A and B are shown apart, each in its own frame.
Chain A
């Protein structure tokens, strides 16, 4: 038993809960009176509180606890829901998100202090006349020394709960459990006990800590403090019914003297906890905010990678068999290969599907972002999203978020005009940003479209001239498309930006680099006065690709088939030299010629008359790669060259061929 096992689950679940909280909050802002949404947010806070408490994350549990209090009052119509309250809830959500992010990164909550939020929440409760609330401004770690509580080191939280437990006539027990010393999986056993106890009580303290218990860092014995309305005996019987328990000692905690030590707090937490379970069950047949998350299987990415490696192995064997098949023309052999090929293809598909994640995971943070941005900029924006269910590889998901944020920010900040201007132009005051995803063959396309002013070509040219990317005379000759392309050039963006929201063009080169790094492309369409559209094309998968194997002298290289346009012979006498660049007239277009041998440091023999040319493209750019020989098309498994050789020019990775030798994969993007 490993604590990380629980940690992963905690993080995953917390993220899901936060997502649903986010959605509900956004909805709530539109329809503040929807009690279903309130209930949903309340439930999520409550669950988060419980989870965080179990994992020992006190900041999260404190914050969610206060959120719960406020929501409870709102739900009971004791407090009027207002925009202020929703704003604060959003802030709480941000803080929670930050905590979870920190936990993901470091395993700890981090330094972010949410006390002011806790106070604000408390103040909301305070303003309500019928309640006397107490702010928890004092430090939370006082240790009480009271006669009846001698021997216990309870912090304020535990004391508060005990106090409330007393008010509700609940019992508080100290349960000392000893697990049989020959028990093999003590942590698992402890987990069962926790589960059992939590079904009818609230565990408020555990020694050693829950993490330590889950990590098996305890000696057969642990002590829990819990409140419940069950009796001492029934708890004892219950625990003893679990096997491999040596001894259970239950002591009742005298709540009598806590009274004056703790200030009165109006909270009804304990009650809530127990009621909540009933409520949850009841509400199932009521109208319920349907959860967006289907049943998911969480698979360790390492295991998937392993599965993937197995598939790679299969493909390598398949390639090897093809080699044999060609030499000895046996019918059976061919059939076997065909069969094997069918297996590898379907296995590949199956594995890819496991790795696929709906792009919703990236999209669902955008509504909130757009809300905040539009408030900040005083624009009203309607974000329309479609195709959230489109699935892409997990690795793509992780990489695509930032570029999309960038593009959406661009569209809102500089694409969409402000309301007055829109009115003058006869447009609706509310600007529209469309975010669309859809599969297209072996690609996934994501479009970010706005109905703003479009890209001002003249402005772009001016700026490019100012930043020294082009000269004035060059600017005149540029086509509209080429001008727009300037946006993606490094050095186009200016460093003297004050706002953190990017201007049109700022950092677009970064967006482009990032997308190209995962094998994608980005294009722009713009219509002056009508808006602009950024189109991102991404490969469905990154691990296995179709490639064209070529030979230069005795070295074999792989060129990704996705960038190969065609293969054609070119006569060396047709090659012209223009400004140090070899070009050839091909289909009435000048085609730059790249001699791969030169780029790869291979000494070439004299030109033949006829040169084999692989015409590759990157976006609209084309070039002809001169190679010595073509081997053919093959499905290859991409392997990284590793950290040591990262950043090697013109090489994107390596693959293992059927005969066991390694062939390097050319990075067409960097060649052009």
Chain B
């Protein structure tokens, strides 16, 4: 399977976080799981919720809301963990809900405008428009910070 950023199909998994729609390139998405129990990892970054057992594999899970510095998501029945794979790293993202896959054509996607105070800006690589909704397309490498060094606390 091809796991690169660029997909010709332009299919995105759409999810909701703090009443805002976000999209992840479908090639990065491995599976979507219901929220289970995490094992907390001490001394990790604050947005790392912990690790989960994904069919025998230990997968770290981060809280996307905390990562973006918006609200910490309240777990409810709708909450999901989207397991993504970026640069061979398997990681789970906790989101408020996720239900659909959209195809966005090239012309539906705009470059990121400067949104001013929005803290999430640095994680967005484009904005999709579909049926009157704005969908923030995530730059996953930035989200999981592959290039950032994970600081020790």
- The minimal Cβ–Cβ distance linking A456 to chain B, given in whole angstroms, is 37
- The minimal Cβ–Cβ distance linking B21 to chain A, given in whole angstroms, is 26
Count of residues in A whose CB is under 8 Å from the partner chain = 29
Cα A660 to Cα B53 with chains together (Å): 7
Chain B neighbourhood of A312, CB < 8 A: 56
Q: A651 on the interface (CB 8 Å rule)?
A: yes
Cα A312 to Cα B144 with chains together (Å): 29
Q: B89 on the interface (CB 8 Å rule)?
A: yes
- Pick the most buried of A641, A648, A660, A663: most chain B CB atoms within 10 A of its CB: A648
Q: A654 on the interface (CB 8 Å rule)?
A: yes
Q: B65 on the interface (CB 8 Å rule)?
A: no
Q: Which of B56, B60, B90, B144 is within 8 Å of A313, CB to CB?
A: B56
Chain A residue, CB-CB nearest to B87: A643
- The minimal Cβ–Cβ distance linking A337 to chain B, given in whole angstroms, is 21
CB pair B58–A640 under 8 Å, yes or no, is yes
Cα A602 to Cα B152 with chains together (Å): 17
- Given contacts A639-B58, A644-B144, whether A555 and B88 have CB atoms under 8 Å apart is no
Q: Which of A639, A643, A651 is within 8 Å of B41, CB to CB?
A: A651
Q: A184 on the interface (CB 8 Å rule)?
A: no
- Given contacts A649-B43, A650-B42, A651-B41, whether A644 and B52 have CB atoms under 8 Å apart is no
Q: B71 on the interface (CB 8 Å rule)?
A: no
- The minimal Cβ–Cβ distance linking A320 to chain B, given in whole angstroms, is 13
A-B pairs under 8 A by CB, number: 74
Chain A neighbourhood of B90, CB < 8 A: 642
Q: Mark B47-81, 1 if CB is under 8 A from A, else 0.
A: 01001110011111000000000000000000000
Q: A647 on the interface (CB 8 Å rule)?
A: yes
Cα A648 to Cα B153 with chains together (Å): 9
- Given contacts A644-B91, A645-B51, A656-B53, whether A662 and B58 have CB atoms under 8 Å apart is yes
Q: Which of B37, B39, B58 is within 8 Å of A642, CB to CB?
A: B58
Q: A309 on the interface (CB 8 Å rule)?
A: yes
- The minimal Cβ–Cβ distance linking A420 to chain B, given in whole angstroms, is 52
Chain A residue, CB-CB nearest to B39: A662
- The minimal Cβ–Cβ distance linking A552 to chain B, given in whole angstroms, is 10
Q: Mark A313-346, 1 if CB is under 8 A from B, else 0.
A: 1001000000000000000000000000000000
CB pair A662–B51 under 8 Å, yes or no, is yes
CB pair B58–A647 under 8 Å, yes or no, is no
CB pair A662–B43 under 8 Å, yes or no, is no
Q: Which A432-454 residues sit within 8 Å CB-CB of chain B?
A: none
CB pair A639–B57 under 8 Å, yes or no, is yes
CB pair A654–B39 under 8 Å, yes or no, is yes
Chain A residue, CB-CB nearest to B38: A662
Chain B neighbourhood of A227, CB < 8 A: none
Chain B neighbourhood of A664, CB < 8 A: 39, 41-42, 51
- Given contacts A654-B58, A656-B58, whether A649 and B89 have CB atoms under 8 Å apart is no
CB pair B53–A641 under 8 Å, yes or no, is no
CB pair B152–A649 under 8 Å, yes or no, is yes
Q: A661 on the interface (CB 8 Å rule)?
A: yes
Q: Which A628-671 residues sit within 8 Å CB-CB of chain B?
A: 639-651, 654, 656, 660-664
Chain B neighbourhood of A555, CB < 8 A: 39-40
CB pair A648–B144 under 8 Å, yes or no, is no
Chain A neighbourhood of B44, CB < 8 A: 645, 648
Chain A neighbourhood of B57, CB < 8 A: 639
Cα A663 to Cα B37 with chains together (Å): 12
Cα A309 to Cα B57 with chains together (Å): 10
Chain A neighbourhood of B150, CB < 8 A: 644-647
Q: Which of A309, A641, A650, A661 is within 8 Å of B60, CB to CB?
A: A641
Cα A317 to Cα B90 with chains together (Å): 25
Chain A neighbourhood of B41, CB < 8 A: 641, 645, 648, 651, 664
- The minimal Cβ–Cβ distance linking A281 to chain B, given in whole angstroms, is 49
- The minimal Cβ–Cβ distance linking A525 to chain B, given in whole angstroms, is 35
Cα A348 to Cα B48 with chains together (Å): 34
Q: Which of B37, B43, B51, B91 is within 8 Å of A600, CB to CB?
A: B43
Cα A127 to Cα B122 with chains together (Å): 71
Q: Which A152-201 residues sit within 8 Å CB-CB of chain B?
A: none
- The minimal Cβ–Cβ distance linking A630 to chain B, given in whole angstroms, is 19
CB pair B39–A661 under 8 Å, yes or no, is yes
Chain B residue, CB-CB nearest to A601: B42
- The minimal Cβ–Cβ distance linking B45 to chain A, given in whole angstroms, is 9
- The minimal Cβ–Cβ distance linking B38 to chain A, given in whole angstroms, is 8
CB pair A648–B58 under 8 Å, yes or no, is no
- Given contacts A654-B51, A663-B39, whether A647 and B56 have CB atoms under 8 Å apart is no
Chain A neighbourhood of B91, CB < 8 A: 642, 644
15 A-B pairs with C-beta separation under 8 A: A316-B56, A555-B39, A555-B40, A600-B43, A602-B42, A641-B41, A642-B60, A642-B91, A644-B144, A644-B150, A645-B60, A645-B150, A651-B43, A654-B58, A664-B41
Complex A-B, nearest 8 residue pairs according to Cβ-Cβ distance, in ascending order: A600-B42, A662-B39, A649-B43, A654-B58, A639-B58, A601-B42, A644-B60, A645-B60
Interface residues of A (CB under 8 A from B): 309, 312-313, 316, 555, 599-602, 639-651, 654, 656, 660-664
Supply 13 further A-B pairs (C-beta < 8 A) apart from A309-B56, A643-B89. A641-B51, A641-B58, A642-B89, A644-B89, A645-B51, A648-B44, A649-B153, A651-B42, A656-B53, A660-B53, A662-B52, A662-B53, A662-B58
